[in-house]
Amino acid sequence: MSMKSLTISSKCCQAAAMLEPTAGEIACQRLREALRSGRYVPQQRLIEPDVMAELDVTRLALREAFARLEHEGLVQRQANRGATVRLLSLDEATEVLEIRSVVEGLGARHAAALATDDDIAALWQSIERFESALAEPDIAACNTAQAALHNLVTDISARPTVARLTDMLSAQSAQTRMTTARVSGRLRQSLEEHRAIVEAIAGRDQDAAEAEMRRHINGVIEAATESM
């Protein structure tokens, strides 16, 4: 093998290594997802040995995740007490949702432009899962279905920055999603809002897709004001 080939191979290996997530990044993503799903609730202590076992991460990686998520406003650390899930005030929750409405509205706009027939079929399947959960009713399953639909819209949008911001903001507003779900009639209203989003994307109507996503998140803000 020539020296030039070795150099190219070395550069490829270095590039691959740069793309490989670190243990801390993996722990951060797993903990963020656990917060988003409601596994850990506001003001709950995050006991290191328990969280390490549940997320299958090392202590060093978990502490790196705590530091990152503290910077994102999801976790707070105190001397001699460790980490706890941070409870957002109504003002903070509202601000997060206002930013989400802009970011996810943009994502919905791009999704309407890029969605394939398979993407649209997957969106309608998410609506069906939401309907089934609401018929039970199963609040946890409803929240899971809503989150899955938002994730799908973000994936279809193919906008990495939108995806990164949505991932962080969705985790920050997880507690809002759980509290607003208990507002009378909110889940039924949310289902119809999501249906309107999917209809707009299916119709390739970019303006309507963005408007319906923003209308939905503004509805969450109204419910949060009522419930928090």
Encode pLDDT of 84-105 as tens digits: 999 889 999 999 999 999 999 9
Q: Which residue spans of the chain are classified as CATH 1.20.120.530?
A: 90-227
Higher-confidence residue of 224 and 207: namely: 207
Residue bearing the bigger pLDDT, 73 or 54:
54
What was the pLDDT predicted at 1?
A: 53
At residue 181, the pLDDT reads: 82
Reported as a single tens digit per residue, the pLDDT across 1-34 is 555 444 444 444 454 445 688 999 999 989 988 8
Residues of the chain with CATH 1.10.10.10: 3-85
pLDDT of residue 6: 47
- Give the confidence band of 38 by pLDDT, cuts at 50, 70, 90: confident
Q: In angstroms, rounded to a whole number, what is the distance separating the alpha carbons of residues 47 and 83?
A: 7
pLDDT digits (tens, 9 = 90+) for 180-204: 888 889 999 999 999 999 999 999 9
What's the rounded mean pLDDT across residues 202-223? Answer: 97
Average pLDDT estimate for 70-84: 89
Instruction: Give the span between the Cα atoms of 136 and 157, in whole angstroms.
Output: 31
The mean pLDDT value for 145-151 works out to 93
Are 32 and 168 contacting, i.e. CB atoms less than 8 angstroms apart? yes
Q: Note the pTM of the prediction, 2 decimals.
A: 0.79
Most confident listed range (80-94, 110-124, 168-182, 213-227)? 110-124
| Range 90-227 has CATH code 2.115.10.20 | no
Question: Is domain 3-85 in CATH 1.20.1740.10, yes or no?
Answer: no
